Protein backbone atom coordinates (compact mmCIF):
# COMPACT_ATOMS: atom_id res chain seq x y z
CA UNK A 1 0.00 0.00 0.00
CA UNK A 2 1.46 3.40 -0.95
CA UNK A 3 2.20 5.94 1.75
CA UNK A 4 -0.13 8.90 2.14
CA UNK A 5 1.04 12.35 1.02
CA UNK A 6 -0.44 15.75 1.81
CA UNK A 7 0.40 19.33 0.86
CA UNK A 8 0.13 21.95 3.58
CA UNK A 9 1.44 25.17 5.07
CA UNK A 10 4.09 25.33 7.82
CA UNK A 11 2.56 27.16 10.78
CA UNK A 12 5.35 26.57 13.31
CA UNK A 13 9.06 25.72 13.13
CA UNK A 14 10.04 26.52 16.71
CA UNK A 15 11.10 22.94 17.52
CA UNK A 16 14.39 21.35 16.50
CA UNK A 17 14.00 19.25 13.32
CA UNK A 18 10.20 19.39 13.62
CA UNK A 19 7.58 21.52 11.87
CA UNK A 20 3.82 21.77 12.32
CA UNK A 21 2.01 21.58 8.98
CA UNK A 22 -1.63 22.66 8.54
CA UNK A 23 -3.42 20.63 5.85
CA UNK A 24 -6.78 21.86 4.54
CA UNK A 25 -9.17 19.62 2.63
CA UNK A 26 -12.55 20.38 1.10
CA UNK A 27 -15.10 17.58 1.48
CA UNK A 28 -18.89 17.45 1.21
CA UNK A 29 -20.85 16.92 4.40
CA UNK A 30 -22.04 13.28 4.52
CA UNK A 31 -25.71 14.13 4.96
CA UNK A 32 -26.22 17.72 3.78
CA UNK A 33 -23.66 17.72 0.93
CA UNK A 34 -22.41 21.22 1.72
CA UNK A 35 -18.69 21.54 1.02
CA UNK A 36 -16.84 21.97 4.31
CA UNK A 37 -13.20 22.92 4.91
CA UNK A 38 -11.50 20.39 7.16
CA UNK A 39 -8.21 21.43 8.82
CA UNK A 40 -5.72 19.18 10.55
CA UNK A 41 -2.27 19.79 12.03
CA UNK A 42 0.51 17.28 11.46
CA UNK A 43 3.91 17.16 13.16
CA UNK A 44 6.52 16.43 10.48
CA UNK A 45 10.24 15.66 10.61
CA UNK A 46 12.46 18.30 8.95
CA UNK A 47 15.98 16.88 9.07
CA UNK A 48 17.89 19.98 7.96
CA UNK A 49 15.70 22.64 9.64
CA UNK A 50 15.10 24.06 6.14
CA UNK A 51 11.42 24.97 6.51
CA UNK A 52 10.23 28.40 7.62
CA UNK A 53 6.81 29.57 8.73
CA UNK A 54 4.55 30.13 5.73
CA UNK A 55 6.30 27.65 3.42
CA UNK A 56 4.16 25.25 1.39
CA UNK A 57 5.48 21.69 1.83
CA UNK A 58 4.68 18.12 0.82
CA UNK A 59 4.68 15.62 3.71
CA UNK A 60 4.72 11.80 3.51
CA UNK A 61 3.63 9.22 6.05
CA UNK A 62 6.46 7.33 7.79
CA UNK A 63 7.13 5.12 10.75
CA UNK A 64 6.62 6.70 14.20
CA UNK A 65 9.55 9.03 14.92
CA UNK A 66 8.33 10.24 18.32
CA UNK A 67 5.15 10.45 20.37
CA UNK A 68 3.41 12.75 17.84
CA UNK A 69 5.61 12.65 14.71
CA UNK A 70 4.57 10.21 11.98
CA UNK A 71 5.31 12.34 8.89
CA UNK A 72 8.42 13.55 7.00
CA UNK A 73 8.88 16.66 4.88
CA UNK A 74 9.51 15.40 1.34
CA UNK A 75 9.95 18.71 -0.47
CA UNK A 76 9.39 22.42 -0.12
CA UNK A 77 7.00 23.54 -2.87
CA UNK A 78 6.89 27.27 -2.14
CA UNK A 79 8.89 29.69 -0.05
CA UNK A 80 7.47 32.62 1.87
CA UNK A 81 8.80 36.01 0.82
CA UNK A 82 9.69 38.38 3.63
CA UNK A 83 7.92 41.72 3.49
CA UNK A 84 10.08 44.78 3.95
CA UNK A 85 8.57 47.30 6.39
CA UNK A 86 7.95 50.64 4.75
CA UNK A 87 9.78 53.53 6.36
CA UNK A 88 7.96 56.79 6.93
CA UNK A 89 9.27 59.83 5.14
CA UNK A 90 9.76 63.14 7.00
CA UNK A 91 6.86 64.66 5.02
CA UNK A 92 4.45 61.99 6.27
CA UNK A 93 5.63 62.49 9.86
CA UNK A 94 5.01 66.25 9.60
CA UNK A 95 1.48 65.67 8.27
CA UNK A 96 0.66 63.31 11.13
CA UNK A 97 1.64 65.92 13.76
CA UNK A 98 -0.80 68.51 12.40
Residues in CB range of 92: below 8 A, 6 or more apart? none
Structural domain including 19 reads 5-81
Find out whether 41 and 25 touch, Cβ atoms under 8 Å: no
Residue 89 confidence (pLDDT): 64
Q: Is 98 a domain residue?
A: no
Residue 68 confidence (pLDDT): 96
Q: Give the separation between CA 13 and CA 86, rounded to whole angstroms.
A: 26
For residue 18, give the CATH number of its domain: 2.40.50.140
Q: Is 41 a domain residue?
A: yes
Classified as helix, coil or strand, 96 is helix
For residue 57, name the pLDDT band (cuts at 50, 70, 90).
very high
Residue 29 confidence (pLDDT): 96
**Interval 41-54: pLDDT, tens:** 999 999 999 999 99
Q: Is 94 a domain residue?
A: no
**Interval 63-78: pLDDT, tens:** 999 999 999 999 999 9
**How many folded domains does the chain comprise?**
1
Q: Is 61 a domain residue?
A: yes
Q: Is 90 a domain residue?
A: no
User: Cα torsion for 54, 77, 14, 59, to the nearest 10°?
Assistant: 120
Residue 98 confidence (pLDDT): 64
Amino acid sequence: MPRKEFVGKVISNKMDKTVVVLVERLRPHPKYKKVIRYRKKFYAHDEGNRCEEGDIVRIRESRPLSKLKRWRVVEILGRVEEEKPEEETPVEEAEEKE
